[in-house]
Amino acid sequence: MSIERGRLLVDRRDFLRIGGTGLAGAVLLGGATTGAFARTGALSKEFGAAAREYRVPVELLLAMGYVNTLWEMPPPSASDYEPGDLSGRGAYGIMQLVQNPWADTLARAAALTGLSQTSLKASRPANIRGGAAVLAQMQGTESPGDLGAWQQAVAEYGGGALYAEQVYGTLKDGASATISTGERLEIAPHEDVEAPATYTAASTPDYKRARWRPAYGGNYTNSNREASYNIGRIVIHTVEGSYSSAISWFQNPRANVSAHYVVSRRGDVAQCVRDADVAWHAGNWNWNTHSIGIEHEGYSGNRSTWTNAMYHASARLAAHMSKRYDIPVDARHVVGHRQVPGSTHTDPGRYFNYQKYRRLIRHYKNR
């Protein structure tokens, strides 16, 4: 079963207060179609400097940073490597440099930049510079201006094609956010960019609105819960990362962790474990055997995680579960990860609106 070790984790709510550096101010970051890039504010300068040094399109770096952390700088402890921990991927900083037993882009960035691994983990400009250096090396000697020509390198950087799909979808649609330093960042839509489409295994999910993106078979327990166990709870989680990073983590043979579903900020839903099987998400075997685990893209300490599209998509999914397994829609049966006995996690965090969520579940359940 999954083992979420009883270590003391930094409260994810704190990372917006202690993470990130920079000068507060309004920043407009233009797209490649106009070449406009206003270099005011610390974060914009950090992205611009890294892009110039390593000949990487600045819009691409920005889109990656947005997908990774919504441009916030989490502390190094936010996702330290920990097998059996939903957030323990070993991914650091705004550029999510990785260090775990099978991947080490953090050491690669240190070798390319001459910066220490400690600095790359904790310093925002160093982390952005390290990410740009690694991406440039993955791309090779050619540094094309065409954003589409970087897709393979982006997929390699983020652990798969789904990451590239997220990054290029962000470029195509544009993005904006006001981060904890007070800076307002914006990527203009790039209508000419094509977002690559990823394909999933030829299998029908239990929930028709989901896409089947199966977890590695050793990260959950094969079961027949409808016959063996009563499914009586829904447990809400936050990824402490991106939609694609959660799915990639569940597919990693060394993770020892999974959830049944992952919901993106755009409202996409992936099913990773069959309802009948026991996902390793709660850190408590009894709760795992009797619950459905739903992960949500983003961070428990970031208000911007909870978009309307995410609330509605997740509530529609939870309503389906409530109907199918006769789960009451109340505070005892639709709960956060923090409420699981023995949990050291704080997700879904203070910005998650339980009342709104349960109200939406009842709405979709009664339709």
Report CA dihedral (222, 226, 227, 231) to the nearest 10 degrees: 90
Which one, of 352, 301, 237, 265, lies nearest residue 19 by Cα?
301
Is residue 232 very low, low, confident or very high in pLDDT (cuts 50, 70, 90)? very high
* Domain 12-187 in this protein, CATH class: mainly alpha
Helix spans in the chain (H): 15-18, 42-54, 58-69, 105-113, 117-122, 124-139, 151-158, 161-173, 225-228, 243-250, 285-289, 308-325, 354-365
Q: Which pLDDT value is given to residue 28? A: 34
Prediction pTM value: 0.86
Percent of the chain, pLDDT > 70? 88
Average pLDDT rounded to a whole number, residues 301-325: 96
Which one, of 357, 339, 163, lies nearest residue 243 by Cα?
163
CATH superfamily of 211-365: Peptidoglycan recognition protein-like (3.40.80.10)
Question: What does the pLDDT look like over 52-84, one tens digit per residue?
Answer: 999 999 999 999 999 999 999 998 888 888 877
Residue ranges of domains in the chain: 12-187, 211-365
Question: What does the pLDDT look like over 244-286, one tens digit per residue?
Answer: 999 999 999 999 999 999 999 999 999 999 999 999 999 999 9
Most confident range (mean pLDDT) of 33-47, 227-241, 255-269 is: 255-269
Looking at the chain, how many residues does it have? 367
Q: Is 262 helix (H, G, I), strand (E, B) or coil?
A: strand
